[in-house]
Amino acid sequence: MFAKELILPLLWGVGGGFSHCIGMCGIFVISCNNVSDSTRSRSLFCNNLISQALFHTGRLCSLALLGVAAGSLGSLVAFGSHYKTIQAVLSVAAGILMACLLLGFVGIVPLFKMPEPDVMGAGNGFGRRLFGNAIKSKSVAKAYLIGTLVGLLPCGLTYNVLMPAAATASPVRAALVMVSFGIGTIPGLAALGLVSGAGAELLRAQQFRKLMTSFAALMMLAMAIQLIYRGYSYLM
């Protein structure tokens, strides 16, 4: 039954990956490649494919850790003899909050838009220097390191999916929700790093990204409804 609850985070990631993530994380994806599109050969393309695999593996590891933290927090809240009732309230509250944030995501109520603080500039630019060193690194683990750091960056999409993750009240289940979301974002970001020519132009096209944003918003609404319904069913 829980496996079905991973489908919406996965689809939410697909929509977000082809819209929000391409704009916000595209530079990090491209920085993992060894060559530009114009000089790409078959062997170099394979090297870039390996780099992309390492990059996304790093991201998934970071997202899983965030899921464990969210699930642990949810399990602490829903602890005790009234576990089921508290989990139901937690699920309904997460669904309502996600519905509100949806209004911010689509721009209807800007006040509800999830903030993304500039952690790169914090500590006199410590985060920016950290990323800079990772990008300049010649290590074979460069792509994995960049992916790990990107996975920990403040991101509205990540914040939103942390809510259904926390509502599971289980570190393991929450980690699976976050990994499912992360897997969903891979097609969009990987395509940006591997596709060239007309394909790359399509990915960057404003109309295409708006379409995928609408799809992501629809999935976000579905997750909000799912959370509210799940909480209600716990009380029945």
CA-wise closest residue to 5 among 219, 188, 214, 156 = 219
Buried b (16+ CB within 10 A) or exposed e, 196-231: eeeeeeebeeeeebeebbebbbebbbebbebbbebb
pLDDT of 96 reads 92
- In the block, tokens 């995501």 appear at 105
DSSP string, 170-191: -HHHHHHHHHHHHHHHHHHHHH
| Residue 213 backbone class (left: φ over 0; alpha: ψ -120 to 50; beta: rest) | alpha
pLDDT of 62 reads 95
pLDDT of 118 reads 59
Question: CB atoms < 10 A from the CB of 127, how many?
Answer: 17
Decide: 3 and 10 in contact? Cβ < 8 Å: no
pLDDT of 35 reads 45
Exposed/middle/buried for residue 57 (C-beta within 10 Å: 0-12, 13-18, 19+): middle
List per-residue pLDDT tens for the chain, 236 residues long. Answer: 567 779 989 998 998 888 878 777 777 787 776 544 444 455 656 777 888 889 999 999 999 999 999 999 988 876 655 667 777 888 898 899 889 988 888 888 888 776 665 555 555 666 677 777 777 777 778 889 889 988 888 787 888 889 889 888 899 999 999 999 999 999 888 887 676 555 567 766 778 878 888 888 898 899 899 889 888 887 77
Structure tokens of 76? Answer: 């602490």
pLDDT of 39 reads 44
What angle (nearest 5°) sits at the alpha carbon of residue 35, between those of residues 31 and 36? 85
Q: Where are the domains of the chain?
A: 2-235
Give, rounded to a whole angstrom, the gap between the first and last alpha carbons of the chain.
Answer: 17
Contacts of 121 (CB under 8 A, 6+ apart): 127, 128
